[in-house]
Structure 1
């Protein structure tokens, strides 16, 4: 299989981490999303990544669908809990983490406009949403102690790492008020699926 990705995409990182946690071999091909033509375009008409190209040539996208496919492809070890309540909890946290990613990306894109063209209200709303969600993730992470050497991370933890890692890359000042969350992230830094997928 081949995964089309960029080195900074938190969505692609989520899939890359899942592949490593589940020990599924997969070639990664880096794409330049700013190029008029790039490899992922022929497999996803929206041109978005990640895209997983299966061995039969068919494509799976986006990251949430790819994760579900990987669980079907190799059910054990599972990153999505089988217990109904635990499953909903993991999916809820994944949705929260995805919202952080989406909103941070919107904040970054607005920041790239000329200063006199930026929507300051939008920037403040986006920052407020991200920080409110990070506060919730900080509370969630308090029960995730001693996971650095766990047999496998679940989807909630993978998504959290990707979301916080992306905020740290693009808006590190947002994280200053969340020392417990950052301490948890630091405790996880040497886990192979995390260290090997750090955004560049």
Structure 2
């Protein structure tokens, strides 16, 4: 399952990533509200974490635009504004929950999981690419209706590639979404995961192409 964090405080983002890493979430990050509004329609997110104090446009305007564009993804608001009127305004604009800074990371994780569970009824957790099917809610994959044994991080890599089928996924992005910010990463770690996935997908599954010096691309077939 993938989460988009829209927040310009990079140190906070790294802390949020670390809190969610054990649960196996794939994390995308945008520091610009306008960029978030642009990419959300083309991505399959289970949750959006949205800060109100963004550098380009107010978070409340981002929220209004997302809901106005038909986005039904659950949205968790992060803000230093703790007055009731601010919470009411965000909830009326379509926010699903509201967390005031500073907050405990355990509470943040609990709210994220609750919103993801609540949103499963509204979102299709199934990703497909040719004969390959990935159920992001149960972290299980199948090829031609046969189970595909995958480890947790292999599932995360596969979900990212399938969510961007036909498009380049940079190696740096895979590293940032799979590993915690203070976790040591071997130089060939991503190559190892890609190699294992290629072996498990075999000739029946979609092809993962290497774009030398840039990253990887899953053929959309």
Q: What is the TM-score with the length of structure 1 in the denominator?
A: 0.33
Greater relative contact order (Cα < 8 A, sep 6+): 1
| Greater percentage in helix | 1
**Higher relative strand content:** 2
